[in-house]
Amino acid sequence: MSNLPSEPEFEQAYKELASTLENSSLFEKNPEYKKALQIAAIPERVIQFRVVWENDKGEVQVNRGFRVQYNSALGPYKGGLRLHPTVNLSVLKFLGFEQVFKNALTGLNMGGGKGGADFDPKGKSDNEIRRFCVSFMRELNKHIGADTDVPAGDIGVGGREVGYLFGTYRAEKNKWEGVLTGKGGSWGGSLIRPEATGYGLVYYVQHMIQYASGGKESFAGKRVTISGSGNVAQYAALKVIELGGTVVSLSDSKGALIATDEKGITPELIDVIADLKLQRKQLTELASSSEYGNKFKWIEGARPWKHCGNVDVALPSATQNEVSGDEAEALIAAGTKFVAEGSNMGCTQEAIDIFEKTRKEKKNQAVWYAPGKAANAGGVAVSGLEMAQNSQRIKWTSEEVDQKLKDIMKNCFENGLETAKEYVTPAEGEFPSLVAGSNIAGFKKVAAAMHDQGDWW
């Protein structure tokens, strides 16, 4: 890949996967999989286009739009659309590459892809966002479809944006089909979809806690530090509270909100934060609030990992590379036993190496790390369930969807656990490597499907 421009985010994601495969017995037992990795690392298709739209002043604006259709061996391309100034091809290739193996771990028939634009929705009016979405979908509609590529929301793309995108697709194609997930509940959306990534993350960690404690412990009584304040963080926090844990932090790009009383961050405060985020406002709005100011401290420009005191569980749920090496050391020093990514590639490679080294050295007293491709697969899993409901023209109850989500996260955990035991045999008393097991399990499934379909031989 030396003839390509530098793509640091993608290269990090590729090396993280490749290194775990190389340090397992997979290539020793199946040397032909080396060629499969080389092929799977290249997207099947990359689409780039301009997005021309008009702001409220009547001025013409232009952004870059992308769709990376990475791998369709297991089903239609599936993955979110991100609207953020940092969006570029490297970021979307990293996200799409991760999505391929994450989707494989759900057990559903979904390939992997990712897309978006370097458009910043912050500070834009509803009309400006609508005009951008219409222009974006007028090009994207040529390349997607219910059996081809089914995008969803991601950073900057919520229910409002999905509505504008879906309406434009329907008008352009003159047909109603389940081409986007995260739709409104009255027009094809699935119940539990907004909650799914956060809920699924907590369900996954619940299995980690139960396995590590021999079934004796749960979230009850655990102190949990969470970063982010969007959908994933909000619903993870609410589920932790429901299961008896105490949430001690949330954050955004401006800083960290740290609880100062024993109750931690309450559901009422999370409702206030959810309203702020709908208005695209920052958590700093709470810093000067007389109503909440005595219940937390605000740390400007910080992430929460070094500021929460002793914690049992850490859930990075904001964006990529949000736990550095020194923050990983701080979490270990604070007594953290479980780290699971609600965000994609939430930990730097240095942080992962520290967690994995500690796992080996301290055996069952160590921190246990779970990668995003396994721990945050709940969102795309329920997107897959939304696709199934759309195909059948039916709607499942919240209880039905939640139970299916629980089953998927249980299988995701057990698949990574058992695969790790098979290909990276843990030492006596050592927790299996969930990062290695999840990487190998997801890769094996995709590579086998590619082989059966003649993509490599």
What is the token pair recorded at 39? 């092929």
Active-site hit among 93, 114, 183, 404: 114
User: How far is CA 333 from each of CA 115, 149, 161, 326, 341, rounded to the nearest angstrom?
Assistant: 38, 44, 42, 10, 19
- Measured CA to CA, the distance from residue 457 to residue 451 in angstroms comes to 6
Q: What is the 3-state secondary structure (H, E, C) of the chain?
A: CCCCCCCHHHHHHHHHHHHHHHCCCHHHHCCCHHHHHHHHCCCCEEEEEEEEEECCCCCEEEEEEEEEEEECCCCCEEEEEEECCCCCHHHHHHHHHHHHHHHHHHCCCCCEEEEEECCCCCCCCHHHHHHHHHHHHHHHHHHCECCCEEEEECCCCCHHHHHHHHHHHHHHHCCCCCCCCCCCHHHCCCCCCCCHHHHHHHHHHHHHHHHHCCCCCCCCCCEEEECCCCHHHHHHHHHHHHCCCEEEEEEECCEEEEECCCCCCCHHHHHHHHHHHHCCCCCHHHHCCCCCCCCEEEEECCCHHHCCCCCCEEECCCCCCCECHHHHHHHHHCCCCEEECCCCCCECHHHHHHHHHHHHHHHHHCCEEECHHHHCCHHHHHHHHHHHHHHHCCCCCHHHHHHHHHHHHHHHHHHHHHHHHHHCCCCCCCCCCHHHHHHHHHHHHHHHHHHHCCCCC
Which residue is listed with tokens 């005191």? 309
Distance of alpha carbon 282 from alpha carbon 253, whole angstroms: 8
Task: Give the residue carrying structure tokens 């109750």.
Answer: 263
Q: Reply yes or no on whether 114 is catalytic.
A: yes
Q: Which residues are catalytic?
A: 114
